[in-house]
Structure formats: C-alpha cells, structure tokens
Amino acid sequence: MMFAGLSRNDKLLFAGFTIAALAMPLLAWPVGANYPDLLQKFAIYGIFAIGFNILFGLTGYLSFGHAAFLGVGSYAAVWMFKGVTMNVIPAVIFGVLVSGMFAALIGFISLRRSGIYFSILTLAFAQMSYNLAYSVLTPITNGETGLQLSQDDARVLDRMFTEQTAGLPSTNLFGLEMSGYPGFYFCCVLLIIAFFIALRIQRSPFGMMLRAIKTNQVRMNYTGFNTRPYALTAFIISGMYAGLAGSLLAVTDPLAGAERMQWTASGEVVLMTILGGAGTLIGPILGAGLIKYFENIFSSYNDGLLAESFSFLPDFLNDTLVFVIGPFVGEGWSLLLGIVFMAIVIFLPGGLMEGLARIHGWYRRRGQGDTGRNVAKQAAE
C-alpha cells in the first residue's frame, strides 16, 4: 500500500536514498565526517531543506522566515522535555504540531501577497518572532539565556515511573539515550520518512497543482482552482518539516535559543535549496549536507592552522596563501559560501542537480556518438 502507484524509478530512488541515508556513517568516513554530531546535523538540516523545497521549489513561494518554524519547533520540544517526559516521541510530535499551527497563522497572512511581497512578509514575521522571543515572550523562551532543562522541571510522566536523578536527565527513546549513533539513527529514520512523504507529495495530483501554481497562477485561477488553500497547505507542510527539524535539534541538545530564529538561519536554508537544486527531491538534501560539512571544516580553521597546513611551502608563499585564504575561513566562512552561491546562481541556476544532469547528458551524448559511429562503420562495411 505504501508504494502503490509509484513508478519503478521512484521505488529505486527511494531504496537508494534509504540505503545511502542508513550507510551515511560509512559514506562520510572517507571525508572524515563520520561522527554522530555532524551526521545528525546532515539529517536534521536535510529535513529542513526537504520541507523548504516543498514551498519554494515546488510551489514557487520564497519564504525568508522559515527559521521561525525551526525555532518554534525547538522551543516546543524543550517544553515537552521540561513538562512531560524526556522521551523524544512526544517532543517531536508536539514540535511539529505547534510549528504547523504557527505556520498556518503566518501563512494565512503572508499568502495574501506573492513574489517579493510574500518574501518580505515572511521575513518580517520571522524577525518579529525573533525579537519577541528575546523580549516579551521571555516567560516562554527564557530570553537571552535560552530555554534549557533544570532540576525542578515538572516532567510529570517521568516522575510517575522513575526516581529523580542527581544530574540532568538526557533525552531518550523509551530508555535508549539519544546521544551518539542512536541519536543519529533516530534523526536518520525521520529523514527517510520525511523524504518518502515529499516523494509522495511530488508525485501526487496535489504536487502537480503546486507545480502548476509555480508556473502560472493566473491560469490556475481561470482553470477553476482556488490556489490560496493549495499554497497555504504547502506552507503549513513546510512549516511542519521545519518544526520537525527544530525539535530534532532539541533532541540532540535539549536547549533552545532565539538565535535559531534569526534571519541568517532562514537565509541558510534558501542557500541549501538553491545550491542543491530547487524543485528536485535530492538536491536540497545534498545542499544541506554540503553546506553543513564545509561549514564544519572551514569555520574551525584560523590563520594559525592555515599556516600549519601550508608549512611545507617556503615562508613567503605560506604568508601569501594565509593572507589570501585567511579571510575566507573561520569567521569569514560565510564570505566563501557567498562567493560559491553567486557562482552557482550565475552559472548553474538549477544547482548541483543541474550540474549532475549536464554531466549525465554529456556522457550519454558521448555514448550515443560512439554507437552512431559504430552504426556508420557497420553500414560502411
């Protein structure tokens, strides 16, 4: 039933994706990214980007405020940890639901406009949420300190079954602690489910309507479709994906701060989606993984480390290289990201997926060229 109606290619795509996701520790090993904390980030931001792509890539609405849903998901999950139980399932469900409701509200208002006005509205809402989290909503968000666990949290359900321990409890899945690889695999399974749902949406009549809205909203209206609820549904779904990602961030590290809602975080998911390829299924996940991977590498570099890695070079070359590359690493990593992003938008507007498609097409043409020559040769003989 689960796979009913999906084409052979889609089933293969899903199978391939599942295997790749589960084998991520192995796949990431050659590039030295095979530790759970980073892998977890790949999975979480992959979910975030898949959801964002449903709104931006499929429906054509560019939201600049999706970090707000990420933040709301985190806060909701931490509240669940504080109030009810350290089990991650209720926290994740609560995070998804709350951000879904939040998305319904913001989407309802923002979707009254489209194009740049929609983007500005979402940006304004996200910045508003960010500032509210710092100020008026301090009772809920704990302001600048951020929301975190404490000894005197209620944790009603946990108290009923277990004695309170001396230290702070850790997040768990029915007793299995959500740190290290179990934590990663929890996120990984959710990534696979998130991918599967996105695949089903993309292949469904609903997904077809979303793509049609992106292409020609006027025609949709004169064709008898009420486009607003379609766009709103897409907005809510992508908000729920963001909420899921946010609650998973809280699962791996049970604290939530307002900086998660800042506009830079909203911009990051836009970069991920465009870098990988907006509108494709795999692209956004690829973009998320790459950005998180390179962020991890480059932001940890500094001039000293650079000088060390070029120490085999003569001094003057070493100094020049450090001078040239220095501004692009560590704090300056976003400078590098910006340049790469500009290059992608200018030369490869379809993102990495377009790049792969071009390479594939090039190989196929070359292959066909060969067979063409063979046929000609046979004909000549």
Partner 1 sequence: MAILEVNDVNKAFGGLKALNAVNLSVEEGTVHAIIGPNGAGKSTLLNCFVGRLIPDTGSVMFNGQSLLGIKPHQINQTGVARVFQTPEIFTDLSILENVMIPAFAKVDGAFRINAWKTVGTRGEVRDMAEKVLEEVGLHEKRDIIASSLSRGDKRRLEMAMCLVQDPKLLLLDEPTAGMSRADTNNTVDLLQRVGTHITKIVIEHDMHVVFSLADHISVLAQGTVIAGGKPEEIKGNPKVQEAYLGGAHA
CA distance 224 to 135: 45
State in angstroms the smallest separation of the CB of 6 from partner 1: 6
Q: Is 145 in the site for partner 1 (CB under 8 A)?
A: no
Using the contact rule CB under 8 A, the part of the chain among 107-115, 222-230, 263-271, 335-343 near partner 1 is 222-230
The secondary structure element, H or E, covering residue 255 is strand 255-256
**Binding residue (CB under 8 A) for partner 1 from 223, 320, 368, 374:** 223
Q: Is 128 in the site for partner 1 (CB under 8 A)?
A: no
Say if residues 197 and 234 touch (Cβ distance below 8 Å): no
State in angstroms the smallest separation of the CB of 102 from partner 1: 20
Q: Is 4 exposed, middle or buried (0-12, 13-18, 19+ CB in 10 A)?
A: exposed
5-28 in b/e form (b: 16+ CB < 10 A) is ebeeebeebbeebbeebeebbeeb
- If one counts every other C-beta atom within 10 angstroms of the C-beta of residue 381, the result is 5
State in angstroms the smallest separation of the CB of 236 from partner 1: 11
Q: Which of 151, 107, 112 is nearest to 125 (CA)?
A: 107
Q: Is 335 in the site for partner 1 (CB under 8 A)?
A: no
**Residues in 357-376 that interact with partner 1 by CB under 8 A:** none
Q: Is 246 in the site for partner 1 (CB under 8 A)?
A: no
Between the two ends of the chain, the Cα-to-Cα distance in Å is: 54
Kindly state the number of chain residues that form the binding site for partner 1, as judged by CB under 8 A: 31
**Residues in 154-213 that interact with partner 1 by CB under 8 A:** 200-201, 203-209, 211-212
State in angstroms the smallest separation of the CB of 117 from partner 1: 20
Inter-axis angle of helices 88-110 and 115-134, nearest 10:
130
**Binding residue (CB under 8 A) for partner 1 from 222, 312, 316, 347:** 222
CB-wise, 47 or 261, nearer to partner 1? 47
Strand-pairing partners, residue 173, are 176
What one-character DSSP code corresponds to residue 87? B
Chain-centroid distance, C-alpha 308 = 34
Using the contact rule CB under 8 A, the part of the chain among 110-118, 174-182, 215-223, 308-316 near partner 1 is 215-223
CB-wise, 28 or 201, nearer to partner 1? 201
The site for partner 1 (CB under 8 A) is made up of 4-7, 200-201, 203-209, 211-212, 214-216, 218-227, 229-230, 233
